[in-house]
Amino acid sequence: MTPGVLPIRVAVLGAGTVGAEVANQLLTRAADLEARVGAPLVLAGIAVRDLQAPRHPALPKELLTTDAESLVLGAHIVVELIGGVERARELVLMALESGADVVTGNKALLATHGAELFSAAERVGAQLNYEAAVGGAIPIIRPLRDSLAGDDVKRILGIVNGTTNFILDRMDEHDDTFEEALAEASRRGYAEADPTGDVSGADAAQKAALLAGLAFHTHVPLESVSVEGIERITPDQIRAGRETGHVVKLLAICERVTAADGTVGVSARVHPALLPRRHPLASVRGANNAVFVEAEFAGSLMFYGAGAGGPETSSAVLGDLVSAARRHVIGGPGLAAPPSSGLPVLDPGLVTSQYQISLTVRDEPGVLARLAGIVAERGVSIETAQQTRAGVGGTATLVIGTHRAPEAALAAVVTALGDALEVAAVAGVLRIEGE
Ligand code: HSE
C-alpha cells in the first residue's frame, strides 16, 4: 500500500457483464491501479438485487450486498452499472449529495436526468464521469469535454449503435433483408432480447443528446432529438445507395447550424442516411462504433472501436475511476463543464438536409416534368434525377436527389409526390450526409 495515503473505497452497483468485469479488475489488478492513482482502491462491495443469482465465479460472495444505500454512503467513489433510470437516479443522487464521485455508463439516466445530476455534482464539487455511456470502449466524452475544450466543434457524425451497424452492414454485404440481418445479430448476441431500443434509434438518440450537449456546451433534452430507426430500410434502398456510391448507416448527427430562418442553434438527430463510400465512417463494419468530429481548428478527427462488451466497456469505466480517484489524492473539487453557450436546440423542420427519393412512376410522356414541378413548387431544387426502366406494367424507377432544403419543405415534397397520380409508390426516402 502507498504509505500515508488512505485507501479509496469504491462501491460497484450492479454485477452484470460490465459490473462484474470492473469488480474483478479492481480485485485482480489492484497493484497496477494503486500505482496509477497514488492510493489503493478498495472494492467496498457490490450491490445486487438478488444474492442467489448466478455470478461471475471470481466475485467473492462476501462482497455482495442488497443494501445499496449503506454501500453508497460508505464509499468515496460509486460506480453505477445497474442500468434503468429511477433506481439509478436515486442512488447516484444519494452518492453525489454525500460528496462521493460517481462513474456511470448509464446513457438513459444521463439523457433524461443529466441536468439535475450534473448540477448536484457541481454543487458539492464531486465528479460525475460517464465515458462508458457513449461508444463503449471509445474515448469520446473526455476528448469532447477536455481535449477539445478550447476548440469549436462544428459537427459530429456518429455510428453509436453496434447492433444497427451490424444489421446494415449485413444488408450491404450479404443482401439480407432487415429481418434476416436482425436474426443474425440476435444469433451472434449483438442484439438485445428486445431489440426495439436499438433498431428504433432510441439508444442512439440518448447518446446523441449527450454528445450534442457536451460538444456545444448547452443542454440538449432527449425529447428534442428527432429519431428515425432502420426498421423500414429495404435491400432495394441499400442497392440503390450502392449504385450512387453510398452506404446506408444509422447516424447520430449533432450540428451547430444556422436554420433556414437565420436562427443559430444546435440540431441533434438520429436517422439512417446515405454516406459516400469514401467517407471514413463508411468503413466502420460489423458491430463497431465510430464518432467523426469536425472542429474549427483541429479539423476532422475520428474515434473508432468497440461500442459494447464487458471487458471493452470496463476499460472506459476504469479510466473514469482512476481519474476520479486521482482527485481524491490531489484534493480540490471535481471538474465541471456547465452548459455555458445557451445555444437553443432548433426545430427539426428548420434544419436543412439533402434527400434521395426513390419513386415507382408511370413511364409516360410528361411524367418527369410534372414531378419536377411538384418538387420546384415547394422551393426544393433537384440535384440529380435518374430513371431506370422497371418494365412492370409500364412503370419505371425514378431516383431524385435534392439540393439542401429545410426538412419541412422536403417532407412536403415527399407527401405531394406520394399523392401524385403519376407515382405508383414512394419506394424509399433517405437523407444524404457527409458529402
Ligand atoms: N445496444 C447497444 C449497441 C450497446 O448495440 O450498440 C449499448 O449501448
- The answer to whether the CB of 163 is under 6 A from ligand 1 is yes
Whole-angstrom CA distances from 16 to 38, 53, 64, 161, 169 are 28, 11, 13, 20, 28
Residue 253 sits in a domain of what CATH number? 3.30.360.10
**pLDDT tens, position by position, 336-378:** 777 888 899 998 888 899 999 999 999 889 999 999 999 999 9
Query: Is residue 59 domain-shared with residue 84, that is, in the same domain?
Result: yes
Residue 315 in contact with ligand 1 by CB distance below 6 A: no
Examine the domain organization and report whether 155 and 291 are in the same domain. yes
**Are residue 99 and residue 216 in the same domain, yes or no?**
no
Among 107, 161, 206, residue to substitute to test ligand 1 (most atoms within 8 Å of Cβ): 161
Indicate the helix (H) or strand (E) that contains 142: helix 141-142
Please tell me if the CB atom of residue 162 comes closer than 6 angstroms to any atom of ligand 1: yes
- Asked whether the beta carbons of 118 and 262 are under 8 A apart, the reply is no
Query: 203 CB less than 6 Å from ligand 1?
Result: yes
Q: For residue 175, is it within any domain?
A: yes
Which of 61, 107, 207, 249 is flagged as catalytic? Answer: 207
Closest CA to 221 of 256, 268, 153: 268
CB–CB of 275/369 below 8 Å?
no
Q: Is 201 in the pocket of ligand 1 (CB under 6 A)?
A: no
Q: Is 249 a catalytic residue?
A: no
- Do 41 and 149 have their domain in common? no
376 and 300 in a common domain: no
Position 343 in a domain:
no
Other beta carbons within 10 Å of 200? 17
In this structure, the answer to whether residues 47 and 128 fall within a common structural domain is: yes
**So what's the pLDDT on residue 212?**
97
* Cα separation, 429 vs 399, whole angstroms: 10
Residue with cell 469514401: 278
How many Å lie between the centroid of ligand 1 and the Cα of residue 307? 7
User: Ligand 1 centroid to 308 CA: how many Å?
Assistant: 6
Q: Which residues, 6+ apart, have CB-to-CB distance to 25 below 8 Å?
A: 33, 314, 318
Residue nearest to atom 4 of ligand 1 (CA): 308
Task: Please give the tally of structural domains in the chain.
Answer: 3
Residue 5 reports pLDDT greater than 80: no
Domain of residue 402, residue span: 351-432
Q: Are residues 32 and 92 in the same domain?
A: yes
Task: Please state the pTM of the whole predicted model.
Answer: 0.94
Going by C-beta distance under 8 Å and a sequence separation of 6 or more, which residues neighbour residue 194?
Answer: none
pLDDT at 389 over 80: no
Q: What is the CATH number of the domain that holds 122?
A: 3.40.50.720
Contact 225, 209 (CB under 8 A): yes
3-class DSSP state for residue 21? helix
For the segment 182-186, the average pLDDT, to the nearest whole number, is 97
pLDDT in tens, 146-183: 999 999 999 999 999 999 999 999 999 999 999 999 99
364 and 382 fall within a common domain: yes
